[in-house]
Chains A and B, each alone.
Chain A
């Protein structure tokens, strides 16, 4: 663990307990089941996977919005997984989140100014309303909602989806955090607006040297806003590495399937069938034994893949994969 690392999650497990009735034995949804991830200062790490793979849970756990069932989280050298909420006040300034849905992530009853001021008030940033207002205006300018005075007095329902997402981004920036979890920040926006927001995030990263955890299901956006990519499947990371490497040379059969499944707008597409594995991601209550992808894997090795869980090994420099093929 070097001094360039901002946050590390080591062997994290987050199991949610559900009980069918008051008296039956508890069942666990193993949202994350042994994940190790690290993010350097100023780096954007992408976590990619289909819905239900645990990527959102991972992001929220790193922010301590969920309590890890086991494992460690080390932020800037300090262990935070064991800390209670009352000792985490400082962390709430350092780490922020941007949600997927621009419609429900802003309080519909507050003005934009109030929404942006709340984090300042709570964290006691700024000594007067004027000072706080200045910070709010600066944040609005950072996300290109200008003139800030005009937007500050509006309510969320008066803005478009893209504008609301900018406000959400401004809110995540306003306490000057060093770590931001962006949970599918553009998937609910129109195509023409998506690119704008992604570039905005990139600019912010360059300007403030913030670390990002970019959660998405859309692999094709990753190369526009990420340095490292992690592929998650059924609560585990199956492949990770620099974006260029993994996309150019996907090692894990699942990664290969993901990439194969994505259509670029090419008229020739309709003439061919895509070869993708059938089936759907497994339930997290009772994941398949051994390698979790084995029921769908085209390279399934009987006797091995369903018995032993593969380890994440470094096959090429910085490029890790968890698969018995290697």
Chain B
């Protein structure tokens, strides 16, 4: 005669023996590892930085994940960030005019099949008077052009080369100089061979297209009075793919968003599921065991709770009060004190109550409380545990749904929030599929893991499914 294995260790061991159990544990370990990483590396930073644009400025906007370029073989461009240390500085003075020029030179090899999405120049100029800035651009085919010319005062500048008016006019005069059509995008102009530009069908020029391969060269000149002149630059050639999960419209690395959302999802789901399952179990057990008045009260309250329009209430409360995630959690728990688990535990306990060994306990003097907590509850707990497993994904979904409807936690980067921002950012309309699909897939994956875990629990606990 076989009985369910007792003790958590035994149950875990049996779970790991099933196929579904193994898969579930693997997935969950990964998610758990993700959560732990965030927790260890400090989570206060998370919320602050998520909402601060400057933190993400070096990322491209709406870039697809990098592995897309491997999968499709398109060799899409990744970002090339040329930091100040990547520039060689030369300094020259003209004794006659008393002017000095700082030249910042850098070079890079470019072998992608597409032009960068954005070209951003960050310039820091320190001078006593106005300075003249020029940016000279040399391509691997030897052609050279001046891409930017401006007269600026001292300060820090962020120049979006592909839209900046001064860049536009420099490029336009270059184009008319070589008799090419003026309506070509700046990134294309900078990265296509001069010959193809002239012919009207711009073709991207890669460093490896020349034999031997030659890099692109950029020279930034800053000319001003020599007193106190200093300058530094950073050139961002932002790619079209980025990272494991791409970026969103605020240049945020979606993978970081997912990483930061993992502990929230797990914590919310687990806490809600655990507390609600246990509270409902104990209430159901109390009702069944003590009967009469208590049973009536619990039964009727459960009926009321079951009729409550849970989601509508939750949305309304959130809409009015706009609370943070922990208050959401408390509200969810308060709205779920009684429920289906109460009823099913009650029916289990009603049956167990009738077994002779319970009556025997009364005959040797056990108090009712002792019987309830030491004899009956341990028998019911494995089922409660299984219930927890099946509930966690629903609470993760709940949180995601609330966020999607715009009534979730206003600041935390949860998975649901990512999806909501994707919708608002037009991801479905414009086709930024990674922005929606990756967070959704994760929610589904975690739910599936718990479902598999529950499946293997069921196999173990349900005597009929145990093939002897």
Interface residues of A (CB under 8 A from B): 60, 63, 65, 89, 92-93, 95-97, 99-101, 103-109, 118-119, 122-123, 155, 157, 168, 171, 175
Contact = CB atoms under 8 A, between A and B. Distances in A.
Given A99-B356, A101-B356, A107 B375 contact: yes
Given A99-B356, A101-B356, A108 B363 contact: no
Contacts of B364: 92-93, 96, 118-119, 122-123, 171, 175
Contacts of A109: 6, 375, 378-379
A302 B364 CA distance: 49
B355 interface: yes
Contact of A119 (B357, B365, B375, B379): B365
Contacts of B366: 118, 122
A105 B3 contact: no
B365 A171 contact: no
Contact of B362 (A65, A108, A171, A175): A65
A171 B360 contact: yes
B306 interface: no
Contacts of A123: 364-365
A105 B360 contact: yes
B350 to A, nearest CB: 15
A63 to B, nearest CB: 6
B13 interface: no
Interface string B346-363: 000000000111011111
Given A92-B363, A123-B364, A108 B356 contact: no
Contacts of B361: 107, 118
Helix, strand, loop or mixed for chain B's interface?
helix
B368 to A, nearest CB: 9
Nearest to B363: A97
10 contacts: A93-B364, A97-B359, A100-B356, A105-B356, A106-B357, A107-B361, A122-B367, A157-B1, A157-B2, A171-B364
B466 interface: no
B130 interface: no
Contact of A105 (B357, B362, B379): B357
Contacts of B379: 109
Contacts of B355: 104
B370 interface: yes
A135 to B, nearest CB: 13
B198 to A, nearest CB: 87
A115 to B, nearest CB: 8
Given A101-B356, A171-B364, 20 more contacts: A63-B363, A65-B359, A65-B362, A92-B364, A92-B365, A96-B364, A97-B363, A103-B1, A104-B355, A104-B356, A104-B357, A105-B357, A105-B360, A107-B361, A107-B375, A109-B379, A122-B364, A122-B370, A155-B6, A157-B2
A27 to B, nearest CB: 19
A122 B361 CA distance: 10
A213 to B, nearest CB: 13
Given A109-B379, A157-B1, A157-B3, A93 B365 contact: yes
A157 B356 CA distance: 16
Contacts of A103: 1
Contacts of A95: 363
A65 B355 CA distance: 14
In the A-B complex, the 5 residue pairs with the smallest Cβ-Cβ separation, listed nearest first, are A92-B365, A119-B364, A105-B356, A99-B356, A122-B365
A175 B375 CA distance: 20
A123 B364 CA distance: 8
Nearest to B368: A85
Contacts of B367: 122
B360 A99 contact: yes
Nearest to B374: A118
Contacts of B362: 65
Contacts of B375: 107, 109
Interface centre among B2, B6, B360, B378 (most CB of A within 10 A): B360
A60 B370 CA distance: 21
Contacts of A108: 3
B269 to A, nearest CB: 29
Interface string B146-189: 00000000000000000000000000000000000000000000
Interface string B235-272: 00000000000000000000000000000000000000
Interface in B186-243: none
A93 B364 CA distance: 6
B267 to A, nearest CB: 32
B329 to A, nearest CB: 33
B299 to A, nearest CB: 13
Interface in B1-40: 1-3, 6
Contact of B357 (A63, A89, A107, A175): A107
Contacts of A155: 3, 6
Contacts of A119: 364-365
Nearest to A168: B360
Nearest to A100: B356
Contact of A97 (B1, B6, B360, B365): B360
Contacts of B357: 104-107
A124 to B, nearest CB: 10
Contacts of B378: 109
A168 B360 CA distance: 10
Contacts of A100: 356
